[in-house]
Chains A and B, each alone.
Chain A
């Protein structure tokens, strides 16, 4: 019997037999898992002889081919061989087979994420509202009812089951699990195992959750459950097994990163809060917003870097406009001279600040500077040589994203601070911000399908020019520019300044650059710190200050670092709160020193709970390649002795003790008090010492008084 429903598309995946499955929730709250017919076409171009052979090869395997004219982003309309298959899985198999046999041909639209393909085919996006007709097993009709760019998308009410562990299970096997569902709370003991399994099954079937939020679910709980109950299926779709992606260490953004094993579910989502890159900041609302605009599943967006999302968005734009999507990047960097390379290969403008303590400083920020430049200046790989061309693929992809984020930000400003919608709007706004942050980097990424490094460089060149224009305008209006950092500038005027004083400057910058600027705030005072290695050298990103409303902003101090123990970070935080009460931070240095002494005394008396003395260090390389047994290497060795697989990029937690290092929480009497005291003192001096010394740059008065050695002439011997 045919049924027509209104509902929301929650996820889409392939069954092992290649059938596309859709998970939907209808308006009555019923959960549907339905098959869908989703034919796939991919395209092939290349040399005529190779293409003819490929055609014959496919015909012999009863695959239908067709000659078509399609649009290539760089070459315009071109003839292609279109290969159509009944479902995505067989299309993947044919594509890989063809590529293996005909590696010299170019392939397009061959490896798109399933969500992107579905959105291109039906117009229905993930988390979007839709109308569907079904016979109970198969989708017969699917049509969209909203757009991913709607500001207030409707969403179904989700059943969320949270699973928490008492401690890090890699250090000590937990004795129980805490489960939370709405107002229900359960503590399931892991012993005896059989009872635990029966209870867990009963709770899963009673609540039938849509989302399982765990701590250590990826790296411990799911592998543990699979080991002890191999027949237990946590999926809602009984035709699927839990998908496990192995752990890996990667090098990205100049850092060694470790991604633990990942466990994906089908028909419901599993998110491990401890193994999801952005989840701490954007939460479930943010991950859903990312899925809505990128067409990658929520389990992916919660775990992956937003770069994959930007690529998926570009793919969907291309798919909707009939532009071919290359399977591998085809545009190489154009050759150029050394001097051109030196001129072009530079990042954003980064000034060296004038070190010292300043009162009344305004921070002015360009709003979403890089993506705005990309849209305003029509920067896209295919428009590089034709600036007057119609908007390119990248600006077309980014424009709705920029608009939506701006609208969310504007809505946030109009809401009452007690409004309960604020947290969700902030999470969604923040999720979109991350997409905008990475969209620029992806222009130059070596594997970006539509990337070209010259377009990346053009963005930074324009950003430097805009910042210099802003600097000139500020100086024309009598401000001193204390600092500039990529998309923000800090200005100051003797005798103080208020918001009204800065308004004409904001208007002038906006009028000159055509990019939105906002006043981040006026600092009551702001301190730019010098380098820790050389007090004469200013550094761009070490400063702290307090805005007029008392909010602190801190960059580059110990409390911002992941490897600072909570105790040292809290002492720094307390110092800053004391300083923030004054009109000039130097007035309260003595009070801050009293606080530091008090905390050091508490430490020496053993009154600091060891839990806040835990240090977290990320391993920069494999444990066996450490030549000197530093604390991180010692902790790695201790963990390895317990059977934990320690790999580069992992964050290790340990304590400094009298015996060296411990990966278990020590008794207060065993803590290495001297070492923690040094850490606290260093954290305190980082803030207090510069406030007590005169500004060291730019004149170096100390060195003017370096006594020159006196070499008195030897007395001339008499008689000569």
Chain B
């Protein structure tokens, strides 16, 4: 039995290949960020497939946003933690 619909991995690979012109015109540092952004959707392939969208790249963008949100959340936690440590150090210093 042959699949009639291309696999999601293949569709995403094709979309990324289609973005090569965009990537090429970016600065090297931005190219690395773009690569990381695209790669961050890959752990969510099963969820993107389950979205059953005609254009799965939309769901892939959502997966990238999800990973960005996770990173923001982690950084916020870290900032909060560092702020608490600074406050503690300041209190110790002042006291």
Which residues of A are interface residues toward B (Cβ below 8 A)? 338-339, 341-343, 345-346, 349-352, 354, 441, 444-446, 453, 456, 464, 468, 484, 534, 536-538, 697-700, 703, 706-709
Contact = CB atoms under 8 A, between A and B. Distances in A.
A698 B46 contact: no
Given A351-B46, A354-B43, A538-B42, A446 B1 contact: yes
Contact of B67 (A339, A468, A534, A698): A698
25 contacts: A338-B54, A341-B4, A343-B52, A345-B5, A346-B5, A349-B46, A350-B46, A352-B42, A352-B44, A354-B43, A536-B40, A537-B42, A537-B43, A698-B40, A698-B43, A698-B67, A699-B67, A699-B70, A700-B39, A703-B32, A703-B36, A706-B32, A707-B29, A708-B29, A709-B27
Given A342-B52, A703-B32, 9 more contacts: A346-B49, A352-B44, A441-B1, A536-B36, A536-B42, A537-B42, A697-B43, A699-B74, A703-B33
B1 A352 contact: no
B52 A456 contact: no
A538 B43 contact: yes
B71 interface: yes
Interface in B51-86: 52, 54, 67, 70-71, 74
B93 interface: no
Among all A-B residue pairs, the 10 with the closest Cβ atoms: A536-B39, A444-B1, A703-B36, A345-B5, A352-B43, A351-B46, A537-B42, A343-B52, A700-B36, A708-B29
Contacts of B42: 352, 536-538
Contacts of A339: 54
Contacts, number: 66
Contact of B39 (A343, A350, A537): A537
Interface residues of B, number: 25
Name, among B33, B36, B43, B54, the residue most crowded by chain A CB atoms within 10 Å (CB to CB): B43
Given A339-B54, A345-B3, A698-B40, A352 B29 contact: no
Interface of B: 1, 3-5, 27-29, 32-33, 36, 39-40, 42-46, 49-50, 52, 54, 67, 70-71, 74
A568 B41 CA distance: 35
Contacts of B45: 350, 352
B75 to A, nearest CB: 9
A536 B29 CA distance: 18
Contact of A464 (B44, B50, B71): B50
A350 B4 CA distance: 19
A342 B39 contact: no
B53 to A, nearest CB: 8
Contacts of B70: 698-699
A558 B73 CA distance: 39
Contact of A342 (B44, B54, B74): B54
Contacts of A536: 36, 39-40, 42
Contacts of B50: 349, 464, 468
B39 A534 contact: yes
A459 to B, nearest CB: 12
B21 to A, nearest CB: 21
Contacts of B4: 341, 345
A672 to B, nearest CB: 35
A472 to B, nearest CB: 13
B65 to A, nearest CB: 13
B54 A709 contact: no
B1 A341 contact: no
Nearest to B44: A352
B22 to A, nearest CB: 18
B54 A706 contact: no
B9 to A, nearest CB: 10
A157 B26 CA distance: 76
A338 B55 CA distance: 12
B88 to A, nearest CB: 25
Contacts of A446: 1
Contacts of B28: 709
Given A342-B52, A343-B52, A706-B29, A699 B5 contact: no
A444 B3 CA distance: 11
B55 to A, nearest CB: 10
A671 to B, nearest CB: 39
A343 B46 CA distance: 14
Contacts of B46: 349-352, 484
Nearest to A333: B4
B39 to A, nearest CB: 4
A342 B5 contact: yes
A445 B2 CA distance: 9
A699 to B, nearest CB: 6
Contacts of A346: 5, 49
Name, among A538, A700, A709, the residue most crowded by chain B CB atoms within 10 Å (CB to CB): A700
A337 B50 CA distance: 18
Given A349-B46, A536-B39, A698-B67, A445 B1 contact: yes
A470 to B, nearest CB: 13
Nearest to B39: A536
Contacts of A708: 29
Contacts of A698: 40, 43, 67, 70
Name, among A441, A453, A537, the residue most crowded by chain B CB atoms within 10 Å (CB to CB): A537
A453 B43 contact: no
A534 B36 CA distance: 11
Contacts of B27: 709
Contacts of B43: 352, 354, 537-538, 697-698
A706 B5 contact: no
Nearest to A698: B43
A354 B42 CA distance: 11
A644 B50 CA distance: 50
Contacts of B33: 703, 706
Contacts of B36: 536, 700, 703
